[in-house]
Amino acid sequence: MTIHELTYALYRHVFRQDRKAVADYLSAIIALETVHVEGKHVVLKALELWATGASDTYGDARLRALAEQTGLPVCTVNQRHFIGVPNTYRVEP
């Protein structure tokens, strides 16, 4: 949750709409050996996906990274956010 909020705040208020700068900044901190983050490799992959625009939001990027890592399905009302991700299913709102 904290990383999600940081992507939002840093993107809009500090790095002035530069996703790559935000992702590089957060990735440098998260990648440190002394920083403990559950699923660190998924978080770093999610930041990469978000930075490149493969996902609109960090939340979607995290779900995409988890799905790619585990092979588990994604159930979403926004199936277009997960184009190319196997086992993605649309859920009716």
What are 39-56's pLDDT values in tens digits? 999 999 999 999 998 888
Q: pTM value?
A: 0.86
Per DSSP (E only), the strands in the chain are 74-76, 88-90
The DSSP bridge partners found for residue 74 are: 88
At residue 6 the predicted structure's pLDDT band, cuts being 50, 70 and 90, is: very high
- DSSP one-letter code for 80: G
The pLDDT, as a whole number, for residue 78 is 86
| Average pLDDT of the residues in 14-29 | 93
Segment holding 38, helix H or strand E: none
Q: Are 43 and 37 in contact (CB under 8 A)?
A: yes
The span from the CA of 9 to the CA of 64, in Å, is: 21
